Amino acid sequence: MTSHGRELLRRRTDTPQGNYPETIRTIVRLVEEAEYELAERGTVGIGTPGAVSAATGRLKNSNSVCLNGMPLREDLARALGRPVRLANDADCFALSEAVDGAAARAESVFGVILGTGVGGGIVIRGRLLNGANAIAGEWGHNPLPWPQGIERPGPPCYCGKSGCIETFLSGPGLARDHERRTGESLDAKSIAERAELGHASCRGSMALYEDRLARALAHVINIVDPHVIVLGGGLSNCARLYANVPRLWGRYVFSDRVDTRLVPPRYGDSSGVRGAAWLWKR
C-alpha cells in the first residue's frame, strides 16, 4: 500500500492450522513474493488475533492458540531481516476504517470483528488506543450483558470462561445456537441468507442474534460512547444488521437518544490488512 492508502498488490493464502513454524514461513514467503513482484522493499505490518504481552513480549489471547506464548514479532523480524510492527487484527481493522474508511474523520471509532471470533478496536482522533494491558476494545471476552435465562451460564469459551460475547456473536456461535434451537446444521452465512429468503427458523435465529448484538454494543456505547461503530468480519455482510440493531439498542443505552452510527466497512475483508500497513504510515 502507498503512503496515500492505494493498494499495490493483493495476495491471499490459507493460514497453517496449529503450526507456528509454518505460519512464520508462510508470512515470510508472502513478503518475499510481493517484494519480488513489485521490485521494491517495503515495511511490514502484521495484524494478528491476540496481542503482545507487556509482561513477556510474547503473544497472548489469540484464538489461533498455536501463537500464544510465542515471540511472533521478534521471530518475524529475524526471519525478514527488518523491524516488524504488529497489532491485534481488530485494532488494525478499526484503524483502517477510521483513517480513510467508513468512519473517516470521526472523532471516536469502535471497530468490530464478527467472524470466527469476536474482537474490537478503538481509535480516538485517528490514533489507535492500545491500553495499559494491550487489550483495549476486547469486548468479545466480556459476558453477554442483560442475559436471559436460557443464556446462563452460556457456552464454554476457549479463554476458559463461559458465556463470553464471542460464544454468542461469532459465526460459529450463531451456527451452534441455531442448531441447538432448531436441529438444523447450517453455517452463519447460510443462516443469514435463508433468513432473507423468509425461512422462519433462520429468521428467528437472526432476530435473536440481533438482540444479542444490540445488547453487547449498547454495553460498549455506555462505556466508550463512540461516534461510529464499524462492523467487520463475515457477518458484517448481513445488511439487516444495520437497520435492526440500532432500532434495538436504544432500550439498553443509558441515554435519551443514541447518535452513534452503525456502518458497514468501506474496505471489507481487506480492511485489517490495510490497517496493518497504516501501523507504519501513521
183-204 average pLDDT score: 97
Confidence (pLDDT) at 1 = 79
202-225 average pLDDT score: 98
Give me the residue spans of the domains in the chain.
Answer: 20-91+270-281, 105-266
Tell me what the pLDDT averaged over the chain comes to: 95
Packing angle between helix 72-80 and helix 20-38, nearest 10 degrees? 40
Confidence (pLDDT) at 269 = 82
Q: In CATH, what class is 105-266? A: alpha beta
Q: What's the farthest any 2 CA atoms get from each other in the chain? A: 59
How many residues are recorded in the chain?
A: 282
95-113 residue pLDDT tens: 999 999 999 999 999 999 9
| CB 191 within 8 Å of CB 174 | yes
The alpha carbon dihedral of 93, 190, 168, 65 has a sign of negative
Alpha-carbon distance 200 to 12, whole Å?
36
245-258 residue pLDDT tens: 999 999 999 999 99
Confidence (pLDDT) at 282 = 57
Q: Over pLDDT 70: what percentage of the chain?
A: 100
Confidence (pLDDT) at 137 = 95
From the DSSP assignment, how many helices (H) and strands (E) are in the chain?
Answer: 9, 9
Q: In CATH, what class is 20-91+270-281? A: alpha beta
Confidence (pLDDT) at 15 = 87
Q: pLDDT band at residue 4, thresholds of 50, 70 and 90?
A: confident
Alpha-carbon distance 191 to 179, whole Å?
10
| CB 66 within 8 Å of CB 23 | yes
58-84 average pLDDT score: 95
63-75 residue pLDDT tens: 889 999 999 999 9
Q: pLDDT band at residue 281, thresholds of 50, 70 and 90?
A: confident
Exposure b/e, 246-274, CB count within 10 A at least 16 = b: bebbeebbeeeebebebbbbbbeebbbbb
C-alpha cell read off for 219: 454495553
Type of residue found at 206: M
Packing angle between helix 240-249 and helix 200-224, nearest 10 degrees? 60
The β-bridge partners of 121 are 111
| Domains 20-91+270-281 and 105-266 are alike in CATH topology | yes
